[in-house]
Every structure is written in structure tokens, then in C-alpha cells.
Structure 1
């Protein structure tokens, strides 16, 4: 489980700060092992959307990060199947900082939702 989890974090990362931010959010509540699944929903979702590339149905390059538009200095989605690229398809062109902020909000919201679900089940 730990190896899959670490690889999921690494696969989901790809922009400056995101991997560190995820690690901080996860480390805060890691002591509650039951929550690992609930707080790592972005990583799990990223793994699910990445399956076609990970098992070889679709070509999987070494780096699956978004493209940088040098004219606008914004990130654009590549043809790779990652949560970051899907987010960029929905949100359009974002700076790396804005993308980082939005994905960290997603990480924090899903972490908070995981805590909420955990405490509701414990009650």
C-alpha cells in the first residue's frame, strides 16, 4: 500500500510545490491510518485516469506534465491522462502558481471531507 501511495503522489505531482504541499497535508493526518484512503482521493483519482497509459493501452511518455505556452507563460494540457491535465482542460490556461493553488485547495477539501466522513462513521 505504501509503495502504491508514494507512486500515486509522485505521478500526481509535476508542478512546483504540489508534491511538497500534498506531503504536508497528508502528514498532518497520517497517524489515522483509516483515513489514508479518504485523504488521498486526488492521488487515487489520478491513478484511475492514468490506468490506460500505465498499462500500455495508450503510449506513456516518461514525463506526463502539462505544456508551457511561452507566449502566455501559462500551462496548457498535454495529451496525457493525468488529473493535472484534466484540470487544465476544465479550467483552461493557468499559471503554474494558480494551478498549484487550485490543486492544493482540492487536496485540502478532500482531506477535510475525509476527516468529516471518518468522524461521522466513528460517531
Structure 2
């Protein structure tokens, strides 16, 4: 574990430092999306798992590299191969892991803006990751068990520290997390998913963040005006938050439910996060039947 442990700490500490610099200097979005690439390099170099994916049973008959339509793909990507329902991705899998670290590092920072939301979603996702890992510790595959155990050791400190932070960050907040925490939390979860060999399941836990990112794309890429803080508008007379033109899940929730108090909005978003994580755990235990290797 020494190599994985040191690589994990290097990537997490780099993102922690990047978050601090962003809080102080207000880094443009184009750098926020590219700097995690550098932070993920120790993680990718230390990765010792497989680079293949199992094709679902119902797709195996239609996915074959010998078919005429697959000829251009095989020419461009000669390292691709399929054997008994297993698709070897090679370097493409490293590209996927790189994209995952960039996404996770920024996703919690993008879905933010109300007291308790950043720490709350981190706590919910981390608890879901811990639950997944604990259910996998009885596997007979020793390398897989050790990978999940490594993830457990990463999640327990994250859950404990985030719970303590959430106590003071809940409405009315006595402290603010800033980009330092959001980048740290996102990279920690990404590291746990990649080195724990369950990165695909991790994306199921990030369904709200995936939706929020896709919905925010026009603003993130300056197609639509993007202010520094994409927050809802507070009515000082009623204490209610009203939606603004900003394209994120926070404002979308207010458009659907109507104006509400900040603490109620946080609870609503975290309940949605819990439902998605619960669905992710359920899907994770149903899917193995679709991926049996013959």
C-alpha cells in the first residue's frame, strides 16, 4: 500500500493547495479544469488495477471488433480487444480515470452556495462509499478486498472530519468551507474510487453532481453569462431564497419547489443526494447479474 498511499496523499494535497490558492487569488475556470490533470498524475502512475471493462450480457452479441462498422475504431485504437465479454481499453481507461479526477475535484465546488451543502453532500457520498466498501470485504478475491479496505481507511477520517465541519457549517453557519474543502473532498473521493477499483459505482453516487455539471455547462464555458457566485436571491423581509437566472441545481430546485428558507433548501438537496446514493448502492448489487463472465 505504500505506493498507493503516497500517491493518494500527493494528489489530495495538491488539490488542497489549489483550493487554497483559488480562495486567495480567484483562479479562472480554465485553470480549475486543467490543474487537476497535474494533481492526478501520481494517482495514475501508481494505479495497478485492470484497464478492462465487462460488457453487459445483452450487448455482447452486438459489440464485436470483427464487424465492418468496427474497422475504423480498430484502426485508430489497435490496443482495443474483446475476449469472452471483456473489453480491454488500455490507455483509454487512463483517460477515463483522468477525466474522473477532474470531474470529482470540481463537481462539489460547482454544486455549492448554501450553508451545509458542500459538507453535507460530501458526508452523504463518503458514507455511501464506506457502506459499499464494507459490503465488499467478504469477497474471496484478496486483491479486490485489499483495495476496498484501502478505501475504507480513507473514508473513515473523511467522514469524521466532515461530520465535525458540518456541525459548524450548518445554517446558520459559523464557518465557511471555501474551495479548499471542496477540492480536497472531491479528490479524496476520486482517489478512493480509483484505487478501490469501483470508479464506475462512484459515478452513481455523483448523479446530482453529474446533472448539475451538465446543466451548468452553458455558464461554465461562458456561452451564458456566469457571475462569480451563482447564488439564489435572498428576500430580507421573508428570509426566503428565490431562484435567479443561474443554471445550477440549487436554483433549479427553487424553480420547482418555489421559494424556501436556506436550511430547508439544503435538506431538500441532501435528501435528493441520499436517494441517488441509495439507488446507486441498489444498482451496484443488481448489476453483477448482467455482467457474468462465461
TM bracket, shorter-chain basis: over 0.9
How much does 1:7 deviate? 0.9
How much does 1:106 deviate? 0.1
Q: In 2, Cα distance between the equivalents of 1:25 and 1:35?
A: 15
After TM superposition, list the pairs within 5 Å mapping 1:96-115 onto structure 2.
96-115=262-281
Question: Relative to structure 2, which stretch is displaced further, 37-46 or 5-14?
Answer: 5-14
After TM superposition, list the pairs within 5 Å mapping 1:1-123 onto structure 2.
1-30=100-129, 31=151, 32-123=198-289
Alignment gaps of 5+ in structure 2: 1-99, 130-150, 152-197, 290-294
How much does 1:61 deviate? 0.6
| Displacement over 2 Å in runs of 4+ | 29-34
Alignment gaps of 5+ in structure 1: none
Q: In 2, Cα distance between the equivalents of 1:80 and 1:33?
A: 30
Q: Which has the higher contact order (CA 8 A, sep 6+)?
A: 1
How much does 1:56 deviate? 1.2
What is the aligned residue count? 123
Q: In 1, Cα distance between the equivalents of 2:112 and 2:225?
A: 19
Rg larger in 1 or in 2?
A: 2
How much does 1:2 deviate? 1.9
How much does 1:65 deviate? 1.1
Name the SS of the counterpart of 2:241 in structure 1. Answer: strand
Q: In 1, Cα distance between the equivalents of 2:247 and 2:281?
A: 28
TM, length-normalised to structure 2: 0.41
